[in-house]
Structure 1
Amino acid sequence: MKVKSCLAATTIFASIAGGVFSVPAPAFAAKTELVLGAAAADIGSLDPHFANNTSDRTVVGWIFGGLVRFAPGSANPETIEPDLAERWESSEDKLSWTFHLRQGVQWQAGYGDVTADDVVFSLNKTKDPKRSAFSGDYTAFKTIEAIDPHTVKITLSRQVPSLLGLLTNYAGGFIISKKAYEERGEDFKRNPVGFGPFSVQSVTPGQAVTLVANETYFRGKPQITKVTYRFLPNNAARDLAFDAGELDAEAGVQDQQWVQRITRNPAVIVDAFQPVELALLHINVTKPPFNDIRVRRALAYAVDVPGIVKFIGPVVGQAPQSVIPSSNLGFTENAGVLKHDPAKAKALLKEAGFPDGLSVTMIASQLPGMASVMQVIQAQVAESGITLNLQPVEHASWHQMIRKDLSPIVYYGAARFPVADYYLTQFYHSASAIGQPGQVTNFSHCSVADKQIEAARTETDTSKQIELWQEAQKLIVSNVCAIPIIETRTVWAHRNTVDWGYKFEGSMSLGPQITEKTRIKGQ
C-alpha cells in the first residue's frame, strides 16, 4: 500500500526565558530518480542499429536521436519534427535531400560536436547488412555526403514512401558517434554514445541498465537525474515490485484482467498507446476450399469481431476497420470489412457446395495470447457450420511451418513502421508471398493490389499516394485475402506522481520516452 504524506513544517515549542519560538523542519528534496520495470530478462544490444527487441528499443530511445524525430508521445508520421536536423529540402522528384544540422549539439562522454561526418558514418553503417539489422530498409540510399560540417546530402536511387520515416529516432535512423564506435568496438553494444537526454552509466547483466542525465543535452538538462531499467521478465514478479513501490512504472500485459487489477489502485495510470498491432486471419486464396471467394466470405461473416474485442478488453483492444493498422499513414476506415452475419455465412457455404458445413485444419501457435483468441474464433465460426480443427504447435515451430505453406489459414499479429507501404508490401504484394524469392509474410498469396502498391511508392503527390494506398486496402478486403480480427495497443502502468512531460498516445520505442521534461511530481 502506498502512503502519501505531506509535511510542510514541524513546530517545536520550547520555553526559553519565558519565550516561545517555532523551528521549521527542512523541506523534502524532490525525487529525481526514476525506476522502471522491463518485461525482459536482459538487454540484447544498445547499438541502436541492432536493437530489434522491445526492451532494447525502449532504452536506445533515451540515449540516441535522429535527423528528425516523432514528437514525444506520438507514433504518427504526421508529427515528425526536427531533431539533429533543424531544416531540410528535397528536389522535385524526391530523389535528392539536403539536411542542415543544428550547430553545437554535443555527444555524451565528452566526444565533442555532432557533425555531418557522424551522420554519414551512421547512415552508411545502418545500410550495411554486416553492421545493421535494418539494412533492408535503406537499399535505396545511393550516396550520403557531408557537404560541410553541418550539411548532409542524401541521394536516392529510387523514390521511397517515407524518406523522413527512415531518418527518425527509430531503428536504423539513429545517429551514433563515429569516434566512440571506432574506439569502443564490441564494447559499444553495452557502452554506447549518443546525443540524447540520457547516457549509460552501467549495465548489470540480468539485473538492470542504469542511465544518468546528459547535462549537455541540446534541448536542456533533464529533470530526471537517474533512470534504472530493471529486468523483470516474470509478469507476477514485476507487478509485485510495482505494487510494493519499488517501481515508478512497469511494462504491462495486453490483457483486460491485468488492466482491471492494476487500476484498482487509484494512484495508478495505465498508458495504452500506438503503434497498434493488427492481428488477422490470412487465408491462402490458392488452396481449396478457399480458392472459392464464397468460402472466404463465409469465414469472414462467421467471425464475430466485437465478441473478440469484448474478450480482449476495450482498453487494450479495438475493432479493426481495414487490413492494415489504423495507426498507419494511408489507412482508411472505409475499406468495406464484412460484419458478423452467421446467416449469410451459412448461405454462402451452401452456395459453394457445403450445405452441411465445412471442416478445416489449421496450424495454431501455443503462445497463450494467440491460442486463447483462436479458441474464441473456433467457437464463433462453429455457429455458422465451420469446424476449425486447431493443430497446436510450439511458437517457434509454428513460425517455421507457416513459412512453408503448411496451413491454409494463418493467424498472425504484427506492427510495422506506420506508413501503409510497409504493411501492404510485406503482407499483400505478390513478391512477398510465401514461396517466392522475396517472401516475407504474404501468407494469403494475395496479388490483387500489386499495381496500386507499386504506384504509391513512386507517387510524389502525398494525397494521390494516400488514395492509392486506400484503393489497395479496398481491393484486398473485397477479395478477402485476410480477415481483420483485433488491434491491440502496447500497455504500461505508472504512478500518478510520474509526469512524462507529454500526452502519451504513441511511442515507436514501445515504451515511455523519458525526455528533458519528464519529472516526478511532489510527494
Structure 2
Amino acid sequence: MTSHFRFLLTTAATVSLLAAGNAIAEPRTDLILGMSTEPSGLDPTAAAPVAIGQVVWQNLFEGLVAIDKDGNIEPELAEDWVISDDGLTYTFNLRDSVTFQNGEAFNADTAKYTIDRILADDSVNPQKSLYKTITSVKATDADTLELTLSKPSADLLYWLGFPTAVMIEPTSEATNATNPIGTGPFKFSEWKKGNQVTLVENTNYWGKAPKLDKVTFRFIGDPQAQAAALTSGGIDVVPEFTAPELVSQFEKNNTFSTVIGTSGMEVVAGMNNAKKPFNDVRVRQALMMAIDRQGIVDATNAGFGTPIGSHFSPSDAGYEDLAGVLPYDPTKAKKLLAEAGYPNGFTFTMKMPNRTYAERASEIMQAYFSMIGVTMIIETSEFPAKWVQDVFKDTNYDMTIIGHAEPLDIGIYARKPYYFNYENPDFNKTMVEVANAKSEEERVAGYQQAQKILAEDVPALFIYASPKIGIWKSGLNGMWTNAPVPSNDVTDAFWKE
C-alpha cells in the first residue's frame, strides 16, 4: 500500500469520525415533560382545570396579550392598544397575516367571536366573571377590535392574557377539547388518554419559530414515579415537582438542574372576620405573630416556599416583601391578646381541608398557638365538597387554611360576599383606585398599597407562597423559573449540549 493511499484512507477516516462527532453533538429538538395531572380536555375557555392551560397556553393557544415569565403584560395577537381617558374603551390593533392552524385567518371578527362567546348567557368559561365589565365588542375593521366597558377595569388587560381568554377559531369550537386549533408555535398531534399529549411545531407560525419541533406532555401522578422517570430518562423535565422531600437527590446530581421559583398560589389561614374574637384586629395580629412562617415552610415543604406578609406572591409584578410587618414574636402576641381581653387565650376550631399541605401546616400552627395560650381544635373537612359548602358558601367556620391559586387575586378581600366576611373601606377604596388606574405604574402602586393594608389588618394569616420546584436535565434552557400564571410555556425552550 503506497504512503499516498494510506494518507487518503487516514484522512477519510478522520473526516468520517469528525462528521460522526458533529452529528452526536447536534442538540435535541424534542422534549418530554412530566405533569402530575392529566387535563380533562384541551380547551381552556370551556373548562376550569389548571392542567388544560399547562399543556396548551402559549404553546398552542394565544391571546390578544400574554403574561410573561415575570408577570408583565406583553403584546401578542394584538400589536398594541389604546385606552380612552375615561378607561371605558379599549381599542386593539391586531396583527396582520396571522392564521389558525387549520388555515383560517385570525382577524377582528374571530376576536369578537371569542370574547362574545366568553360573555354569552350560556357561556361555560370558568373565568367569565372577570370579563363582566365588557358591555360591547366591535370589529371596526379587519384589524381593529374595540371593547366598551361599564366601568374602568385596569386589570382587564391582565385577565385577557389568561388561558381562559385565548383566541379560538369559530369552526373549531365544538372539537377544541379533543382536537384544539390555535395560532401558537405548536399544533396538536395526538392524545393518548391516560398517558400523554403530543404537540409538534406549527411550521406556519406567524412569529418566531420554536427551537423544539416536538413536545410530549406525560402524565405521572405519583411523585416517586416522576423521580424515577427523570432518573431513568423517561422524561426530561418536571416543571412543578410536588415532592419537596425528594429534591435533594437531584440537587446532588450534576446531570440535573434544580430550579426553585415561586408560583401564584398563596397559602393562607382565613379567619371569619365577622365572628368573635376574629373581629378584633389585635387578635388577628396576635395570631399572625404567634406563628413562625419559615418554620412552617421548613416542616411542610422541606424548606421550599416563600414566607409572605400579604396576599401577594413574589411571582406577581409589584410584589413587596411584608413578612416583617408582623414578625414571629410570641411575647408580643400574648400582650396583644391581653389588650384585646383574652389574657388566658381562647379556643376555636380549624376546619381543615384534607389536603397534605393543609394537614401539615395545621398541626404546626396548633403547637405555635398553644404557646400563647390559644387552643386550636382541628376538624377535618372533606375537600372539595364539604369544605366548599361549609366554609366557602355558608361561612360556617372559625378558621381554615387553603391555597389560593388564582393569579393576582388580592381583590377577593373586597368581594361581597366572600368567605372571610372582611370589611375595610380603605381596602375597598384602594381596589377601586386599582381599577381606575390610567397607567401600569398607577396599577402596580395601587396593588402595593393594598398589600400594605392587608399586612396590617390581617384578615387572614398569610403563611407562604407555594414554591415552583423545577427539575430538568442539564442542557435544557428556556424553562420558566416562576409561575405567575399556571403554565408550562415551552416556546423558548431549547437544548444546549
TM-score norm. by structure 2 comes to 0.89
Alignment length, in residue pairs? Answer: 482
Deviations 1:2-48 (A, max 9, x none): xxxxxxxxxxxx999973523214333542221111101x3212112
Question: Aligned in 2, Cα 1:92/1:357: closer, same or farther, shift over 3 Å?
Answer: closer
- Aligned-partner Cα distance in 1 for 2:323–2:223: 37
Question: Aligned in 2, Cα 1:93/1:83: closer, same or farther, shift over 3 Å?
Answer: same
Match of 2:424 among 416, 440, 447: 447
Q: AA paired with 1:164?
A: L
Work out whether 1:268 is the aligned partner of 2:256: yes
Q: AA paired with 1:359?
A: T
- Aligned-partner Cα distance in 1 for 2:265–2:382: 21
- Aligned-partner Cα distance in 1 for 2:160–2:240: 29
Q: AA paired with 1:400?
A: Q
Deviations 1:152-184 (A, max 9, x none): 11221211122321322x223211112333xxx
Question: Aligned in 2, Cα 1:268/1:432: closer, same or farther, shift over 3 Å?
Answer: farther
Question: Aligned in 2, Cα 1:499/1:315: closer, same or farther, shift over 3 Å?
Answer: farther
Please name the residue that 1:57 is paired with.
53
Equivalent residues in 2 for 1:474-493 (5 A)? 474-493=452-471
Please name the residue that 1:37 is paired with.
34
Please name the residue that 1:137 is paired with.
130
Question: Aligned in 2, Cα 1:233/1:15: closer, same or farther, shift over 3 Å?
Answer: farther
Q: Shift of the alpha carbon at 1:196? A: 0.3
Please name the residue that 1:433 is paired with.
418
Question: Aligned in 2, Cα 1:139/1:311: closer, same or farther, shift over 3 Å?
Answer: same
| Matched residue SS, 2:368 | helix
Q: Is the 8 A contact 2:311 2:451 kept in 1?
A: yes
Match of 1:293 among 281, 290, 309: 281
Q: Shift of the alpha carbon at 1:275? A: 3.6
| Matched residue SS, 2:247 | helix
Question: Aligned in 2, Cα 1:459/1:229: closer, same or farther, shift over 3 Å?
Answer: closer
Q: Shift of the alpha carbon at 1:76? A: 1.4
Q: AA paired with 2:309?
A: Q
Q: Shift of the alpha carbon at 1:209? A: 0.6
Question: Aligned in 2, Cα 1:430/1:231: closer, same or farther, shift over 3 Å?
Answer: closer
Range with bigger deviation, 308-317 or 382-391: 308-317
Deviations 1:117-138 (A, max 9, x none): 1111111112235242221111
| Matched residue SS, 1:123 | helix
Q: AA paired with 1:284?
A: N
Please name the residue that 2:167 is paired with.
175
Question: Aligned in 2, Cα 1:335/1:317: closer, same or farther, shift over 3 Å?
Answer: closer
| Matched residue SS, 1:432 | coil
Work out whether 1:414 is the aligned partner of 2:390: no
Q: Is the 8 A contact 2:168 2:181 kept in 1?
A: yes
Q: AA paired with 1:308?
A: I
Q: Is the 8 A contact 1:365 1:371 kept in 2?
A: yes
Q: Shift of the alpha carbon at 1:246? A: 1.0
Q: Is the 8 A contact 2:266 2:466 kept in 1?
A: yes
Question: Aligned in 2, Cα 1:508/1:46: closer, same or farther, shift over 3 Å?
Answer: farther
Question: Aligned in 2, Cα 1:149/1:49: closer, same or farther, shift over 3 Å?
Answer: same
Range with bigger deviation, 254-263 or 96-105: 254-263
Q: Is the 8 A contact 2:262 2:483 kept in 1?
A: yes
Match of 2:104 among 88, 112, 115: 112
Q: Shift of the alpha carbon at 1:256? A: 3.5
Please name the residue that 1:227 is paired with.
215
Equivalent residues in 2 for 1:92-103 (5 A)? 92-103=85-96
Question: Aligned in 2, Cα 1:461/1:67: closer, same or farther, shift over 3 Å?
Answer: closer
TM-score norm. by structure 1 comes to 0.85
Q: AA paired with 2:404?
A: A
Please name the residue that 1:19 is paired with.
6
Q: Is the 8 A contact 1:336 1:478 kept in 2?
A: no
Question: Aligned in 2, Cα 1:228/1:313: closer, same or farther, shift over 3 Å?
Answer: same
Q: AA paired with 1:104?
A: S
| Matched residue SS, 1:247 | coil
- Aligned-partner Cα distance in 1 for 2:251–2:388: 35
Deviations 1:299-330 (A, max 9, x none): 12211123223334587311213233344345
Q: Is the 8 A contact 1:492 1:511 kept in 2?
A: no
Q: Shift of the alpha carbon at 1:151? A: 1.6
- Aligned-partner Cα distance in 2 for 1:324–1:466: 12
Question: Aligned in 2, Cα 1:153/1:99: closer, same or farther, shift over 3 Å?
Answer: same
Work out whether 1:496 is the aligned partner of 2:474: yes
Range with bigger deviation, 196-205 or 505-514: 505-514
Q: Is the 8 A contact 1:279 1:484 kept in 2?
A: yes
Q: Shift of the alpha carbon at 1:508? A: 4.6
Please name the residue that 2:338 is paired with.
350
Q: Is the 8 A contact 2:89 2:147 kept in 1?
A: yes
Percentage of identical aligned residues: 27
Equivalent residues in 2 for 1:291-440 (5 A)? 291-312=279-300, 316-333=304-321, 337-396=325-384, 397-403=386-392, 404-418=394-408, 422-424=409-411, 426=412, 428-429=413-414, 431-434=416-419
Q: Is the 8 A contact 2:71 2:484 kept in 1?
A: no
- Aligned-partner Cα distance in 2 for 1:466–1:221: 33
Q: Shift of the alpha carbon at 1:87? A: 2.1
Question: Aligned in 2, Cα 1:244/1:292: closer, same or farther, shift over 3 Å?
Answer: same
Deviations 1:458-517 (A, max 9, x none): 2435555544444444333333322211112222211112122x7x333455243111x4
Match of 2:185 among 184, 197, 204: 197
Please name the residue that 1:519 is paired with.
494
Range with bigger deviation, 131-140 or 370-379: 131-140
Q: Shift of the alpha carbon at 1:194? A: 0.5
- Aligned-partner Cα distance in 2 for 1:309–1:263: 19
Please name the residue that 1:510 is paired with.
486
Range with bigger deviation, 453-462 or 153-162: 453-462
Unpaired runs of 5+ residues, structure 2, are: none
- Aligned-partner Cα distance in 2 for 1:166–1:296: 32
| Matched residue SS, 1:431 | coil
Question: Aligned in 2, Cα 1:194/1:391: closer, same or farther, shift over 3 Å?
Answer: same
